[in-house]
Amino acid sequence: MPVATPQQYEAMLDAAQKGGYAYPAVNITSIVTINAALKAFADAKSDGIIQVSAGGGQFASGLNVSDAAFGAIILAEATHRLAEKYDILVALHTDHCHPAKVDGFLRPLLDASRQRVAEGKGPLFQSHMYDGSELPLEENMEMSKSLLKECAELGIILEIEAGVVGGEEDGHDTSGLPAEKLYTTPEDMLTVYEELHPLGRFLFAATFGNVHGAYKPGAVQLKPTILRDGQKAVTDKHGADAEMDLVFHGGSGSDLSDIRETLGYGVVKMNIDTDTQYAFTRPIVSHICGNIEGVLKIDGEVGNKKTYDPRSYLKAAEKNMADRLVEAAKDLLSDGKTVFGTV
């Protein structure tokens, strides 16, 4: 069953932490993008993480339904079925859930997993992200602790964020915040560990200047040493085993040197969305522009069904997105390291 069990997911994270590599976490919105992700991980012989945002779930549910949680459940169930044909492991994850969306998005997904667990199955998702970074840290931790308790009971890992990822994603815009908000402090990282560690396993999206979206080279100033210093504050006080599983948000467009540096500081997951969106769309544009007289019925002509059949360009989009995700696996050193069949 290539959608990881809770035990297999923990083994994936342990292997990445011990081996100094990380998993690409790719946002999906459709069957085509699920297939692109599965193809990429299989081609790279890499395990990976497939994630759904609230906006992605809303899109997948259709214009008339427009229900983020329902769409996320549909995408997750489809992934469970499609992944059965592959010999790598994938984990299902939900991306940024802000406080206002907890009741309408995250809790229905926990209920769906609760029902599956009651039926003797594994949870629908293996991890969820609660992003309370817009709140004061104390309030962030209170909700994080409450959600982590619920997740732990179901064998689900909770990802949290302290410090704000800049830019705009999925309708949430933090581009106007002061620069200092983009950097998590060692004190914050110590607080997160001490508040959450007793309750269950968690992933921590500590911020070090990272942003969502696409930027020209040099526009984003990352400070990966923030992760090093924060981990040191934790391990100096609580021992080497306290090193946290960190998440790199806004991985699209990042310099390879920065990506590789974070691997040495405990990053086991890197989110990639903007680059894979572009990789998906680029061949569609090329197809349309190169076959315009066939795609459109110009001057009363009938066009060319073979060129306006969506499959003709969506197959190219699937392949190009998969190729970009293979590149991400190589950047993160997860290629060739699947733990499928060993745990």
Give the span between the Cα atoms of 231 and 246, in whole angstroms.
9
Give the span between the Cα atoms of 37 and 90, in whole angstroms.
9
For residue 97 the two structure tokens come to 């859930």
Four-point Cα dihedral 91, 95, 98, 99, nearest 10: -10
Task: Produce one character per residue of 193-231: b if its CB has 16 or more CB atoms within 10 Å, e if not.
Answer: bebbeebbbbbbbbbbbbbbeebeeeebebebebbbbbb
- Are 195 and 147 within 8 A, CB to CB? no
How far is Cα of residue 272 from the mean position of the Cα atoms in its chain?
7
- Are 244 and 204 within 8 A, CB to CB? yes
Give the span between the Cα atoms of 280 and 264, in whole angstroms.
30
Beta bridge partners of 247: 269
Give the span between the Cα atoms of 339 and 279, in whole angstroms.
27
Q: Which residues contact 138 (CB under 8 A, 6 or more apart)?
A: none
For residue 122 the two structure tokens come to 């594994």
| Residue 233: closest CA among 271, 201, 206, 260 | 206
Q: How distant, in Å, are the alpha carbons of 74, 82, 112, 244, 290 from that of 155?
A: 21, 22, 13, 18, 49
Terminal-to-terminal C-alpha distance of the chain:
12
Residue 14 known to be catalytic: no
The dihedrals phi and psi of 255, each to the nearest 5 degrees, come to -65, 140
Catalytic pick among 47, 67, 95, 188: 95
Give the span between the Cα atoms of 42 and 65, in whole angstroms.
33
Annotated catalytic sites, by residue? 95
